[in-house]
Structure 1
Amino acid sequence: MVVISGHGLKIDDLIRVSRYGEKVEIDGDALKRVDEYRDILLKNINAGKRIYGVNTGVGAFINKDIGREDARLLQKKVIMSHAAGVGERLDDETVRGIMLLRANSLLRGNSGVRSVIIKRLVDFLNKNIIPIVPSRGSVGASGDLAPLAHIALAITGMGKVKYRGDIVDARKVLESVGSGELNLDYKEGIALINGTQVMTAITAICLHDARTYLLTALAATALTLESLGGIMNAYMAEVHALRPHKGQILVASAIRELLKGSELVKWGESEKQDAYSLRCVPQVFGAVADTIDFGRGVVEVEMNSVVDNPVIIGDKLVSCGNFHGEYVAMVADYLGIALTDMGNVCERQCYRLLNERLSGLPAFLTRKGGLNSGYMLLQYTAASLVSENKILSHPGVVDSIPTS
């Protein structure tokens, strides 16, 4: 059971819920806090305060006043109009992660929603009702408006969901599980769609999996060193103490531990030195390890943040830019660059193993070369993926197109 309170949620918790289906429980004290903030919102509304997205239009329509009689309807119309995503749908794991993060953020209370909104998100998680969310449509600078709107549609009884393997109308599923439609109240529409939970969930999952990729690359490096009779001088602790980056030291130590007692690598003095793809692994993979650790720190702060607009501070509502996705976007770009560079080294190790002039092993690791092609095409595939990674790792955060 993962208990959420608006604080202390970790990437490993997200994986337990999103990937492995662990149940979610809401902290009771956090719900009391939500109710207290809700009362503050209602007091401001009843006092006639002009509040963005509550009694005004949104975006370029900020100067349009919305009467009290239409203020609730506005919330429904906002999520309907903003559910404009296109493309293939996000996978179940990602959508579950998004709902968990949205519920956790709203539990901070500063968005002013009713507790029933949070309970509905958690109910979807625990009953494994998956909103259908198109993967394209978020620009990031305004948060993840379009994809979050598709989730908001589903929890209120509109749109489509995946339930027990079938894609069906959300309304029918809610009726079948005894939940019924959910009518949004003041501010709840914009509170559901303002935020960075889509990019954060995606990046959190990537960061979790990146650790597995790194550990796999370390094991492959150790095997490559053994296969090629690698020289271990470059992994000496004394070498890395001279350049004491945390990741570099950890990677060198890990390789030494993996090869402890090996008689296939060369320990001690040597007049030769290995190629960069073997000798510089601590420096490259170490940087990757530090990138992953840095990214986890940033993303876990974001996972427990209020990313709405406006937000309740004290007894007032304050307009802000907490929905902006810059922190997560930069981490995602940084991670993509790091993993691409790690992939470059892995491909070069593969090439070195298969090239008989470099390895001293049979060409493409096969007997009767010519009749057999061995692992020739393995390296072709690796080269293809490395090239694709270089395209995909172009920083997205530097691009911008004006929107309303």
Structure 2
Amino acid sequence: MASAPMVRAITVATEPLEADDLLAIAAGAPVRIGAAARARMAVSRAVLLEAVQRGDAVYGATRRLGAGAGDEVDEQTAFQLQVVRNHAGAIGDPVEPLIVRAAIAVRVAQLALGGSGVRPAVADALVGLLNADIVPFVPDRGSVGMADLALNAAVAQIVIGEGATLTEEGLTVSGAEALADAGLVPLELETHEALSLLNTNTFTLGSAVLAIPRVEELGLVADRVVALSLEAAGAHRPSGDLGPYSSTVFDDVEGSGAWRSAVVIRELLQASFLHGATDRRTQDELSFRCAPQVHGALAERAEDLADAVDDALVVRAENPLVDVESRSVVPNGNFASPDLVLGLESARLALAHVGRISARRTAVLSALARPVRAAGRAGIPGLLAYTGAERMNDLRRLAAPVSLDDVVLSEVEDYATWGWTAARTTHDAIDAATDLLAIEALHAASLLRDAAVTSGTGTAPLRAALADLLERGGTAEDLVRGAATVLAGD
């Protein structure tokens, strides 16, 4: 009997975790905290306690929070519980477990940087949740992006033995029961530790980490789809020139996103009948000719987002920041992540352009398919294009900036980035763009179904897999999900 594959364990050290580490943890990799990280957290804790013992005004430790930041804390144990419970104000559907795990991993990595002033036991409690695969029930509505306070509070509730968790079956179990089943005990929070569990944009950052590979994959899917659509259109009308994808066109921007997209499309179409076509249109629609430029813009926005994530992972995103080197506690705005949020906003706008150009190609293919539909050989519902139109409407709305919405929550909380909203809507936009590309691919497959033409070395397997999908049939939902799976290569 073959042994199960080894899962790479992730050690959290004093250096920032990389995005790949967070992806591994989100997918289930075990986690441990290194000795150096433990030592740094212990020193950070000592610095925090020195400030408390001096009687310094320390936000969340000797002083209360928000508009009450000038008021002294009376009794620490009660105050810590009050902070967690008071911030547990999120409502809505549960956040996807992958994102919850990524968010918890982000917080562990941040604590290890030594800016929080908490005991190592706090990080251990979070690691315990990850390694026991305890997934807190985190409602998805409740953050303005200036620390994902209410969402983080749902995690903190489990740490202290309250709140609710999710099972694999989607049921909820109390935090106390989940801890007991895993052999874990609730943590009694001490000075400043409640705030430290709450005060960074862990969900925004964890969600952004998970968005990057999805955006990158969608760019490759878009290249595959346009190659199929070129063949589908060429099989039913005079073929367009492949010049818009040639190396000649992109020599001036070698290495750019557009150049890489054109290279992929050319490779997919190697040996395609399009190369030998003699009856060519002078100009194909812009939605065909400009595909590399549009897809390349998305690829470059994905790179920008990845850079913003890398930068965010380096930041000691604490307020107040406990600085070990200067042995001081400093108020700041590191919990805001405008660069990351703008990266998410830009990615959504690029996704809308990819979806829009795909929708235009679908319209071209749908018009070419009228005889096929009339003969009853389409294999897809005729109104699938209408569904695409609605998804494009969704994508257009999702592309609108969310970070400019104004909010004043108290006299000291008068600005917000809306980071979590930006992250959540980015995943929604990826879903919508994926549907649009799948719908386009189904239209292309319908036109290629009975076409006596030779596909390229890269498009032939896609064409065959989509033909099998059409042959099996099913609901429109089955077809779109199946096409998305084929295009992703899963």
TM-score, normalized by the shorter chain, greater than 0.5: yes
Q: CA deviation at 1:372?
A: 6.9
1:195-344 matched pairs, under 5 angstroms: 195-229=200-234, 230-243=240-253, 246-265=256-275, 272-313=282-323, 314-344=326-356
Aligned equivalent of 2:158, options 148, 154, 159: 154
Partner in structure 2 of residue 193 of structure 1: 198
CA distance in structure 2 between the aligned counterparts of 1:340 and 1:364, rounded to whole angstroms: 31
Aligned equivalent of 1:171, options 145, 158, 176: 176
Contact 1:354 1:364 in 2 (8 A): no
Secondary structure (helix, strand or coil) at the match of 1:242 reads helix
One-letter amino acid of the structure 2 residue matched with residue 12 of structure 1:
D
One-letter amino acid of the structure 2 residue matched with residue 78 of structure 1:
V
Secondary structure (helix, strand or coil) at the match of 1:100 reads helix
> Where in structure 1 are there 5+ consecutive unaligned residues?
357-361
Aligned equivalent of 1:395, options 398, 401, 417: 401
Classify 1:95/1:128 alpha carbon distance in 2 versus 1 (closer, same or farther; 3 Å).
same
Q: Over aligned residues, Cα RMSD in angstroms?
A: 2.1
* Cα shift readout 1:317-352 (whole Å, capped 9, x = no counterpart): 000001113222212211111111111111222221
CA distance in structure 2 between the aligned counterparts of 1:253 and 1:387, rounded to whole angstroms: 31
One-letter amino acid of the structure 2 residue matched with residue 353 of structure 1:
L
* Cα shift readout 1:272-315 (whole Å, capped 9, x = no counterpart): 12111110011111100000011011012213422110011220
Classify 1:234/1:86 alpha carbon distance in 2 versus 1 (closer, same or farther; 3 Å).
same
Classify 1:300/1:372 alpha carbon distance in 2 versus 1 (closer, same or farther; 3 Å).
closer
Contact 2:241 2:281 in 1 (8 A): no
* Cα shift readout 1:354-384 (whole Å, capped 9, x = no counterpart): 212xxxxx42744615x97844222111111
One-letter amino acid of the structure 2 residue matched with residue 383 of structure 1:
A
Classify 1:164/1:254 alpha carbon distance in 2 versus 1 (closer, same or farther; 3 Å).
closer
Contact 2:16 2:113 in 1 (8 A): no
Classify 1:187/1:209 alpha carbon distance in 2 versus 1 (closer, same or farther; 3 Å).
same
CA distance in structure 2 between the aligned counterparts of 1:234 and 1:254, rounded to whole angstroms: 13
1:376 aligns with 2:382: yes
Contact 1:34 1:107 in 2 (8 A): yes
Partner in structure 2 of residue 16 of structure 1: 24
CA distance in structure 2 between the aligned counterparts of 1:366 and 1:269, rounded to whole angstroms: 25
TM-score (norm 2): 0.76
CA distance in structure 1 between the aligned counterparts of 2:78 and 2:298, rounded to whole angstroms: 49
* Cα shift readout 1:229-272 (whole Å, capped 9, x = no counterpart): 34211112221223457111111111111112222346899771
Classify 1:330/1:372 alpha carbon distance in 2 versus 1 (closer, same or farther; 3 Å).
closer
CA distance in structure 1 between the aligned counterparts of 2:59 and 2:260, rounded to whole angstroms: 50
Contact 2:14 2:40 in 1 (8 A): no
CA distance in structure 2 between the aligned counterparts of 1:193 and 1:266, rounded to whole angstroms: 62
Contact 2:103 2:206 in 1 (8 A): yes
Secondary structure (helix, strand or coil) at the match of 1:317 reads strand
1:7 aligns with 2:19: no
CA distance in structure 2 between the aligned counterparts of 1:267 and 1:31, rounded to whole angstroms: 67
Q: More deviation in 392-401 or 162-171?
A: 162-171
Secondary structure (helix, strand or coil) at the match of 2:273 reads coil
Contact 1:227 1:264 in 2 (8 A): no
Contact 1:6 1:305 in 2 (8 A): no
Secondary structure (helix, strand or coil) at the match of 1:355 reads helix
Contact 2:88 2:150 in 1 (8 A): yes
Secondary structure (helix, strand or coil) at the match of 2:322 reads strand
Aligned equivalent of 1:35, options 29, 34, 42: 42
One-letter amino acid of the structure 2 residue matched with residue 41 of structure 1:
L
Secondary structure (helix, strand or coil) at the match of 2:294 reads helix
CA distance in structure 1 between the aligned counterparts of 2:112 and 2:277, rounded to whole angstroms: 56
One-letter amino acid of the structure 2 residue matched with residue 146 of structure 1:
A
Classify 1:6/1:396 alpha carbon distance in 2 versus 1 (closer, same or farther; 3 Å).
farther
Classify 1:135/1:366 alpha carbon distance in 2 versus 1 (closer, same or farther; 3 Å).
same
Partner in structure 2 of residue 359 of structure 1: none
1:363 aligns with 2:384: no
Secondary structure (helix, strand or coil) at the match of 2:335 reads coil
CA distance in structure 2 between the aligned counterparts of 1:307 and 1:207, rounded to whole angstroms: 21
Q: Which runs of 4+ in 1 moved over 4 A?
A: 265-271, 371-375
Q: CA deviation at 1:11?
A: 2.8
Classify 1:161/1:346 alpha carbon distance in 2 versus 1 (closer, same or farther; 3 Å).
same
One-letter amino acid of the structure 1 residue matched with residue 362 of structure 2:
C
Classify 1:372/1:180 alpha carbon distance in 2 versus 1 (closer, same or farther; 3 Å).
closer
Give identity over the alignment, percent: 28
One-letter amino acid of the structure 1 residue matched with residue 21 of structure 2:
D
1:348 aligns with 2:360: yes
Contact 1:87 1:136 in 2 (8 A): yes
* Cα shift readout 1:184-228 (whole Å, capped 9, x = no counterpart): 111111111000111111222222211121111111111111222
Contact 1:156 1:184 in 2 (8 A): yes
Q: CA deviation at 1:176?
A: 2.6
